[in-house]
Chains A and B, each alone.
Chain A
Amino acid sequence: MASVEIRDVRKAFGSTQVIHGVNIEIEDGEFVILVGPSGCGKSTLLRMIAGLENISGGEVRIGDRVVNDVPPKERDIAMVFQNYALYPHMTVADNMAFSMKLRNAPKPEIEQRVSKAAGILGLEKLLDRYPRQLSGGQRQRVAMGRAIVRDPQVFLFDEPLSNLDAKLRVQMRTEIKELHQRLKTTTVYVTHDQIEAMTMADKIVVMHDGIVEQMGAPLELYDRPANLFVAGFIGSPSMNFVKGKIRAGAQPSFEADTGGVYPLNTAPAGSDGMPVVYGIRPEHFQLADNGLSAEVVVVEPTGSETQVVAKIGTQELVCIFRERITAKPGETIRIAPDPNLVHVFDAQSGARIS
């Protein structure tokens, strides 16, 4: 096991720069998830750690060794690919043993390690099968088995769950997290799915357009997003954003351009009239008699909760309530954002204000 350090790493394909100086420190045994929309450079960064892409600038360290010019096979890392990249002409056992066979490891050691990995992943009965004879989840497990057998310093996962159906994805999420808790190998995991990031990571790195927007523990990112991008990216359904101005004073408030006055706990000094974006998560609305009156647009009951799209002025807001809502579209309900859980961002820079 080892720590991974990414220092001012840059990547350019020809004249297009796709990663503009990224700094990430990954501690020994940590589970770090790189998350961001497609094209943000997260996969490229992972492939640079693996050695599948050249590093155009900066430094990548695994342990205390700079690996910029170390060939992939000497970096002591194992990678799980999005399409699993299982060798179709090899059985499950051979797939897992391949790296050790290339190293001319003694046969008993190979067998012992393969059966141990198979035991961890519940693959004992599938060892003689070929990849084509496996289901998606089983293939996924074999791909992980191939990584486990190597007992590497670092696991790299490149969107490993994207090819699975929704139900299996949830199950494999748990399995990967369990696996990490058991093996405690440093893991870097790339995904575009923020729920995967939230549920599995020790630390989330949110990337966007080749830079790191914010880095931190999942709930830290959820509770205190550093800017509009992170606020909108983390959380599902995503945060509601309302444009408007701060009204400071004894009882500060927020006046939306689209109509309506929203509650605020505090306003920074001299912020009266300042143009801001008011952010409120769907689950931070409550039904309250003294709330803002809103017109119901759509009601979506899921059983455990009810999602309501409501309009204040011309602004549509997504709200989630634990209670069941019987209101019909067109009717008026009264909703109150929890002022303690409101986020305020600078309208110009998008940075967090309070």
Chain B
Amino acid sequence: MSDSVAGRVPAPAVRHPTWWDRLRINRNWLGFWFMAPAAAILILFLAFPLGKGVWLSFTDAKIGRAGSFIGLENYEWLGLPWWRDSDGVFWLSVFNTLVYTIVASIVKFAVGLYLAILLNQNLPFKAAIRSIVLIPFVVPTVLSAIAFWWIFDSQFSIISWSLRHLGIIDYNINFLGDPNNARASLIFANIWRGVPFIAITLLAGLQTVSPSLYEAATLDGASKWQNFRFVTFPLLTPIIAVVMTFSVLFTFTDFQLIWAMTRGGPVNSTHLMATLSYQRAILAGNLGEGAAIATAMVPFLLFAIMVSWFGLQSRKWQQGGEDS
């Protein structure tokens, strides 16, 4: 562009802003001012308790006693799995948490995606079915946990009852009394609760895909499966990354369902890190030790967040240009 100003109407002189003006109206500062209240709330109610929790894990605080700094002693008690004197229950809870999170998340994703695709079709009573799908998500966790508690009850289980009357089994299944059965039952209950969130979110994602893309792909010769493989799935990956991050975090830190159904039993086989931490800190009163267990969850959660962070970083095709 040329610097020529010939023929232009001259602009009037402008008063230069003072530093005070800048603080008030500069876009960057303005952004800071608008952000400040939210930041203050986050620091007060999120960062502070988190810091306090981590600090507690370095003390020998008990309920009713302030405790003093003992360094990493609480963590030394937990130990590492190959140490002879490591805390076996703690490492069992780590194992349980990983199994619980991985199995439940994978199944929830598969079932959720399947349901979302199903609900995206032109079904009769579509609206009604969509709301029904949401029910497990709407029911309070404790309520559904109690329902599952009954469903899995050793004497009155409806599943055992039905199977017995169908002549498939002779004895009631010991759902919550056997370690592996208990784990499977809890994972099932968690899946039941978690699927709607994933299904509805993915459904929302599916509905943002323009139908003309499917038409174009169909004309290009794509079969139904190829439509899904080359159009639907790639376009859904950003939302899958978000929803699965949330799902993994919520599952990993699950507490209510376990506590209402098994309280970590039988023989600690369903203790997750969250329930064990609560048991040690609040019920047993060893705040420092409980805090150490809770803090030990942080690396796992950070890892999950990092995975999704790098997976989430907007893909190349999402960048640049205005929206079409």
A residues lining the B interface (CB < 8 Å): 50-52, 72-73, 77-79, 81-90, 98-99, 102-103, 130-134, 139, 146, 150
B317 touches A89 (CB 8 A): yes
A85 touches B212 (CB 8 A): yes
Chain B hits for A139, CB < 8 A: 324
B213 touches A132 (CB 8 A): no
| Interface residue total, chain B, C-beta cutoff 8 A | 25
A133 touches B215 (CB 8 A): no
Query: Given that A79-B216, A81-B215, A85-B215 are known contacts, is A103 also in contact with B221, CB under 8 Å in the complex?
Result: yes
A50 touches B321 (CB 8 A): no
Binary flags per residue of B231-249, CB closer than 8 Å to A gives 1, else 0: 1001100000000000000
B222 within 8 A of A: yes
Q: Which 5 A-B pairs have the closest CB atoms?
A: A99-B220, A85-B216, A73-B221, A132-B321, A85-B212
Chain B hits for A72, CB < 8 A: 218-219
* Min CB–CB distance B226 → chain A (angstroms): 6
Q: Tell me the complex Cα distance, A321–B231, Å.
A: 54
Query: Given that A130-B316, A130-B317, A132-B324 are known contacts, is A88 also in contact with B219, CB under 8 Å in the complex?
Result: no
Query: Given that A98-B230, A133-B321 are known contacts, is A83 also in contact with B212, CB under 8 Å in the complex?
Result: yes
The count of A-to-B residue pairs whose CB atoms sit within 8 angstroms is 80
B320 touches A52 (CB 8 A): no
Which residue of A is nearest B211, CB measured? A85
Binary flags per residue of B303-324, CB closer than 8 Å to A gives 1, else 0: 0000000000001111111011
B216 touches A81 (CB 8 A): yes
Q: Tell me the complex Cα distance, A88–B237, Å.
A: 13
A83 touches B210 (CB 8 A): yes
Q: Tell me the complex Cα distance, A84–B316, Å.
A: 20
Chain A hits for B215, CB < 8 A: 50, 52, 79, 81, 85
Chain B hits for A52, CB < 8 A: 215, 218-219
A87 touches B219 (CB 8 A): no
B318 touches A132 (CB 8 A): yes
B210 touches A85 (CB 8 A): yes
Q: Tell me the complex Cα distance, A98–B231, Å.
A: 11
B315 touches A98 (CB 8 A): no
Q: Tell me the complex Cα distance, A132–B324, Å.
A: 7
A78 touches B219 (CB 8 A): yes
Q: Tell me the complex Cα distance, A102–B223, Å.
A: 9
User: Can you pick out 29 interface pairs between chain A and chain B where the beta carbons lie within 8 Å of each other?
Assistant: A50-B219, A72-B219, A73-B219, A73-B221, A81-B216, A82-B212, A85-B215, A85-B216, A87-B213, A87-B231, A88-B235, A88-B317, A89-B234, A89-B235, A89-B315, A98-B220, A99-B221, A102-B230, A130-B317, A130-B320, A131-B324, A132-B318, A132-B319, A132-B320, A132-B323, A133-B319, A133-B321, A139-B324, A146-B216
B89 within 8 A of A: no
Which residue of A is nearest B235, CB measured? A89
